[in-house]
Amino acid sequence: MIRILKYVILDIIKNRLVLAYAIILAVLSWSLFSLEDNSAKGVLSLTNVVLLLVPLFSVIFSTIYLYNSAEFIELLVSQPLKRRDIWLGFYTGLSLALAAAFMIGAGLPLLFFADLGMSLILITTGLLITFVFVSLAMLVTVMTRDKARGIGLAILVWLFFAVLFDGLMLLLMFQFSDYPIEKTMIGLTSLSPIDLARIMILLRLDVSALMGFTGALFRDFFGSRSGEMISMALLVLWAATPLLISGLRFRKKDL
């Protein structure tokens, strides 16, 4: 797998889009931190950027890259290599490349400007969100043969988790506001990786009032520490599950 990984990473590095991603993140984080005199406010603004931009770029770049690598995958499959290793090689390569871009673009300014505890939690969630959305992209590409449809599906995945999911939660809350649905809401929140990440960051920043109903619930229910741990575990699960399903499908895929 290491051998495949090497070539995937070399190939991605040649792709200038990842560099552009790192630069955009860097410009955003430096400017946000220089605009705010309070670094906590900077972290908060950056959180919103990270929670929108990182999943968007991760899922769409990975999907397009995987479709464009169809030839590369076909070549690898005809070599004496395990399909599992090929698939894991692509996942690891994409994750590492995007994680490196995120570290350079957002991680460095965070470590430079913000309080260590705060920046570490934002970096961790940013990385986890990257892993989750690369994993979702792997699932999207293995499910659809058609490139246009696949990219459409990737955008839909992002739109659902970044925008629609919150709307649905709100709708649910209003509809069932007469019932004790707090615990259900907590359960439902774990269905969206972006919400989980938001909760992780906001619990640490101690601004749960800003994050609305679900965050406050989480706080009450879990308390900061265990809530954080549970969200992190759920995010890892969110990265592992689509990868596992896509790997099983790739094993049976005809090329």
Partner 1 sequence: MIQFENVSKRFGSLEVLKNVNLDMASGHCIALIGPNGCGKTTLIKSLLGMVIPDEGSIHVNGAEIIHQHLHRAGLGYMPQIGKYPGNLTIGQLIDMVRHLRPDQPIYDEYLIDSFGLRTLQSKKMATLSGGTIQKVSAALAFLFNPPVLVLDEPTAGLDPLSSETLKLKISQEVINGKLVLITSHILSELDDLVSQIIFMQEGRILFHKSVEALLEETKESKISKAIVTLLAKTVNS
Structure tokens at 136: 């979702």
CA dist., res. 255 & res. 65, Å (int): 17
What is the nearest approach in angstroms of partner 1 to the Cβ of residue 2?
11
What is the nearest approach in angstroms of partner 1 to the Cβ of residue 145?
11
What is the nearest approach in angstroms of partner 1 to the Cβ of residue 68?
9
For partner 1, the closer CB: 113 or 250: 250
What is the nearest approach in angstroms of partner 1 to the Cβ of residue 248?
12
Using the structure block, give the residue that is written with the tokens 């293995």. Answer: 142
For partner 1, the closer CB: 4 or 127: 4
What is the nearest approach in angstroms of partner 1 to the Cβ of residue 74?
6
What is the nearest approach in angstroms of partner 1 to the Cβ of residue 4?
7
Which positions touch partner 1 (CB under 8 A)?
3-4, 7, 11, 14, 69-72, 74-83, 251-255
Helix/strand/coil (H/E/C) assignment for every residue in the chain: CHHHHHHHHHHHHHCHHHHHHHHHHHHHHHHHHHHCCCHHHHHHHHHHHHHHHHHHHHHHHHHHHHHHCHHHHHHHHCCCCCHHHHHHHHHHHHHHHHHHHHHHHHHHHHHHHCCHHHHHHHHHHHHHHHHHHHHHHHHHHHHCCCHHHHHHHHHHHHHHHHHHHHHHHHHHHHHCCCCCCHHHHHHHHCCCHHHHHHHHHHHHHCCHHHHHHHHHHHHHHHCHHHHHHHHHHHHHHHHHHHHHHHHHHHHCCCC
For partner 1, the closer CB: 41 or 249: 249
For partner 1, the closer CB: 168 or 255: 255
For partner 1, the closer CB: 7 or 213: 7
For partner 1, the closer CB: 69 or 92: 69
